[in-house]
Structure 1
């Protein structure tokens, strides 16, 4: 039985790629949407006009934890998820224990539950991401309340995250087209279709107990998706296509995992790459049940969301950001190490301006050590934004000191003065690029 009555819907993970679009689609249909997430800054940046519940799902592992959150709610839509275990995410807590507690709370309150799972989620999957998703799905199937489970393929949206960010990065490389896992079969789905499936469930146009993959009709090799994305972005066709060897792809994944321990959520983490290597496919016959029609093809999805200049800029920025961070970190460590190596000569320069040699050594040593610490700290994600701001002010301080002690350096086009200006601008630009959502 369908209903045109507006519902009060709690959307978990509402600032994510899928969650934000689902929340907007439900609100556009007149439903009362309550958004849920743990990051206050991301929440109010992505959906500033929505009411928010700011909580961490990792702490909601008992039914009573959920009770006050679903009070007065008609439906919960779970768009939350984690790709792999790290300091910020725990797969079992988010995909299994929190979902088990939510199921029990929804049963008791008579609240419906829509689960956004993942194509490939099954108990025997080789990746923990898919296994824990499948375990959560199994708990929902046993729920004594109305439920729906949808498993999207590779979600294409106006914004991007994870695998789609990786595709845009690769499509943004000028002249050559590097391709990781070129033959991997992939079926895409428009985020509009994912939102449509959720809206139809909330409005009960799709019957409870529906479980469906959300994918376009035919799989296509990843290389075709990247080339299609390149055309959509409006970049010139690549002159050369370069397949990245599988061994190198896996090495990149391990390096990205190591950076993940420092807080960086790279789209090239091993789980994301392994998921693509396995293939992102599903059953399009199930999709028709959830949508009432076939899913949009990749070409139709791109046609419905023309690329703008900011899309092209994003693709290139994603390539440049890690390079800028590495270059800035290396330059500050290098500068600090060089300062320590030339501490005697620099102390003598300061002595020529009236500073005692001993004091000069201390000053040079402290400034050099600070440069090294700042450079190394830039590799830690949760410190990086603040470190970039500190770098700007330290560079300004260096410039003031340079003006007082060696003003002639400003006249050298290859000297410290010119380098300081570049450092300040690079730090400011990188700070802007650090906004991920």
Structure 2
């Protein structure tokens, strides 16, 4: 099993102060939002299957409940009266309080929107669709321990100003885990198989358990939870007004340069390892890099080759529907290295043309490496082994 090296001694105190202790759990609520106001609201979505037949995957009635600002009513929407309360806990019992106002029909999907009104109570409307899809379980055994979804009852409000409802559970091993559920589109089962088929590696956050409900239906994967969040969320917390900076402006750095080099090494080594097991990845971006409490960065959603490449991170030669290549991953890595160095979120790119400016103090060798990685000609980009050798040289030079 590949293992990441320990942090340099000069970064261990920074890690202990900033990362090692996760924030306390803050349990969420459906907050009433006055209709038409611009205040931040608490988004919540509950996805329930009512009265399924355990012998028939995809049976029963599906209900999707979204808590939101008052939406523009669709012509086929039906309005409902929600119980006279101003706040509902984020759990399935509260979701069923909304479901009790509906008449779910087997084989149909009911989408419900819930919002607050000026009287301080809740209202809602719903639309029913003829069919719904529940993705089947993987065709092969995942080889993971199985947990019952009924045990995953806690809901946790993430920080960073963005509220996401996650089902968490504390297991006997002392760890905290988060449930990743199948999306409404197909493909998650195949992704699950790919993730568990890869060898054990310290470069990636690997699924720990497979989750089923009391009817034996597959409901997703349980993965170790890292409270510091993805690299995108981490930078937002470091610089709350980061998006206000113009393209030529850079925030005052909040991260040690030696740490940035360690993260560059973590991501580069992980990507080289991944290329040893997959033709390419195709989805390298801030949201798929997690900042862990030991101070290292690790990959999530590392399946490929994927066609979900976000255009902000895509190489110039990217085309939808075409297999990804390692050269495209190198281009995305170059952009990621620029973000780590500058602590900027938005990539200056207009009509496909990059304009990567640098703050003072960034090592010229590092800048040259990023320029090579983001070369418009794929064959001119360095290989992952060349990139990692260069990053390791930079780390050695910075420690002298």
TM range (shorter): under 0.3
For normalisation by structure 1, the TM-score amounts to 0.25
Larger radius of gyration: 1
Q: Which has the higher strand share?
A: 2
Q: Which has the higher helix share?
A: 1
